[in-house]
Amino acid sequence: MNIDGVWAAIDDHRIRTADLLETLRDEEWQHASLCEGWTVRDVAAHLTLQQVGLRQAVTMLPVMVRHPGGVNAMIHWSARQKAHAPTPQLIREIRAMIGSRRHNIGLTPRETLIDILVHGQDIALPLGRTLPMAPAAAAEAASHILNSPHWKSKVFQQNGFRSASLHATDIDWSVGSGSEVRGPMWALLLAVTGRRAALDELSGHELGESD
């Protein structure tokens, strides 16, 4: 997928995610997401923060340096701060990014794609909602993750995929060697990002066991 295709996929899923958020009841916004310690509202707020530029990063740097828990804790803190915004504002800010090609400093558009695809499911699945994901977009995101040694070592340890080969059933995509894990591309993407919520959608290798 070329860069134009990546941005088109990002825009498509921002639309789908904003559309889903508009249907949520007040209590659903407070429901736990798939991200441990994060509510649905926290995750939605985080998705509004995908365009942090150099000026904003410099402004936040002193807080990041002083904040206990490192970068991940800082990301959660910033999301919780943004989550105080009114619900319509959060949805409006996600929609406002559609068509823009800005992304967080230090990252690439493919990290932005991973963020919107996976966090959309972090919101939808615990609520029993369906948020369709284009298989080609999920394949692009998964391939980018699996080409990153840091991501690969982390998520393969979590889900026991270190000696598995992954095969999508809804798109021509496969990677790895060894015992097969098969399933829809969206579920494979969640698996390689360490989410266990969609493992029931996969079959083959004895999932979840260390090799």
Which of 16, 204, 48, 2 has its CA nearest to residue 121? 16
Does the pLDDT value for residue 31 go beyond 60?
Answer: yes
Does the pLDDT value for residue 208 go beyond 80?
Answer: no
Coil/strand/helix, residue 151: helix
- Residue 54 CA to residue 210 CA, distance in Å, equals 41
Q: In what order do the strands lie in the sheet with 164-168?
A: 174-176, 164-168, 179-183, 203-204
pLDDT mean over 191-202: 90
In the predicted model, what is the mean pLDDT of the chain?
84
Q: Which pLDDT band, with edges at 50, 70 and 90, does 61 fall under?
A: low
Angle (deg, nearest 10), helices 70-82 and 54-66: 110
pLDDT of residue 179: 82
Q: What is the pTM assigned to this prediction?
A: 0.84
pLDDT of residue 2: 96
- Residue 67 CA to residue 17 CA, distance in Å, equals 30
Q: Which pLDDT band, with edges at 50, 70 and 90, does 211 fall under?
A: very low
Does the pLDDT value for residue 176 go beyond 50?
Answer: yes
Radius of gyration of the chain (CA): 17
pLDDT of residue 58: 45
- How many residues in total does the chain contain? 211
Tens-place pLDDT, residues 114-163? 999 999 999 999 999 999 999 999 999 999 998 876 554 444 445 556 56
Does the pLDDT value for residue 97 go beyond 60?
Answer: yes
